[in-house]
């Protein structure tokens, strides 16, 4: 592995992307940033962790879009939306953590935020819906019907969030160095492939 290697992992809910990232970080003996990133951002920004969890990889809506464009609720003046402040706090935290050394960053537009880093390796993990439903149902102790709803909602939310804050399209293979179908490959084989590429 190159010195200061940054690895980002975008993923579909239930694809195993988070588990792949954790195993990759463990095998490389480098930090893994997921919920830890939220804690760091919350500490440094003054916002509570609950605020970050509420807005974490959530989509924008038309009201927030109007605010982001510089209008407040009565149509005049500038009022920056809370969601943008949350994103900027995470953005700055990712940059700072990447400055400190190598790491595996999960989601949160990390590939876009850290695009200026070298070396950088961006991965997207996906899986067939049956695999995603099964994994999500087991992880969250819900029915398969509910798991499917969670997967579809997460896809919509993550795509909206990513497409809003970056100039790329979430899940578009052209935006990543490597895309893996963990539904076919499994966690271990996916990790091995990423390691071999590194």
107 with 11: CB under 8 angstroms?
A: yes
15 with 155: CB under 8 angstroms?
A: no
106 with 31: CB under 8 angstroms?
A: no
Instruction: Report cis status (omega within 30 of 0) of the bond before 119.
Output: yes
pLDDT in the model for residue 38: 60
pTM for this prediction: 0.81
Could you tell me how far CA 174 lies from the centroid of its own chain? 17
pLDDT in the model for residue 91: 85
Within the chain, how many helices (H) and strands (E) appear? 9, 5
Burial 156-170 (b: 16+ CB within 10 A, else e): eebbbbbbbbeebeb
Domain boundaries, the chain: 6-197
**Cα–Cα dist 193/196, whole Å:** 5
pLDDT in the model for residue 108: 85
Fold of 6-197: Rossmann fold (3.40.50)
Task: Give every CB contact of residue 41 below 8 A, 6+ residues apart in sequence.
Answer: 47, 52, 86, 89, 90, 92, 93
Per-residue pLDDT of the chain (198 residues; tens, 9 = 90+): 788 999 999 999 999 999 999 999 999 999 999 876 666 766 776 666 666 666 555 555 544 444 444 444 444 445 556 667 777 888 888 899 999 999 999 988 899 999 999 999 999 999 999 999 999 999 999 999 999 999 999 999 899 888 888 888 999 999 999 999 999 999 999 999 999 999
Sheet holding 178-181, edge to edge: 32-33, 103-106, 6-11, 120-126, 178-181
């Amino acid at each position: 592995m190159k010195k200061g290697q940054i690895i980002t992992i975008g993923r579909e809910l239930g694809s195993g992307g988070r588990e792949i990232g954790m195993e990759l970080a463990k095998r490389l003996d480098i930090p893994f940033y997921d919920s830890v990133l939220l804690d760091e951002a919350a500490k440094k920004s003054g916002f509570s962790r609950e605020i970050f969890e509420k807005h974490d990889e959530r989509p924008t809506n038309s009201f927030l879009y109007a605010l982001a464009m510089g209008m407040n609720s009565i149509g005049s003046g500038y009022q920056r939306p809370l969601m943008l402040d949350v994103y900027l706090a995470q953005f700055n935290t990712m940059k700072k953590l990447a400055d400190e050394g190598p790491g595996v960053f999960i989601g949160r537009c990390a590939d876009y935020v850290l695009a200026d880093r070298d070396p950088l390796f961006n991965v997207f993990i996906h899986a067939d819906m049956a695999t995603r439903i099964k994994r999500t149902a087991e992880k969250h102790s819900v029915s398969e019907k509910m798991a499917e709803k969670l997967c579809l909602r997460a896809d919509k939310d993550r795509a909206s969030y990513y497409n809003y804050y970056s100039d790329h399209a979430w899940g578009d293979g052209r935006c990543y160095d490597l895309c893996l179908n963990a539904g076919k490959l499994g966690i271990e084989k996916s990790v091995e492939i990423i390691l071999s590429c590194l």
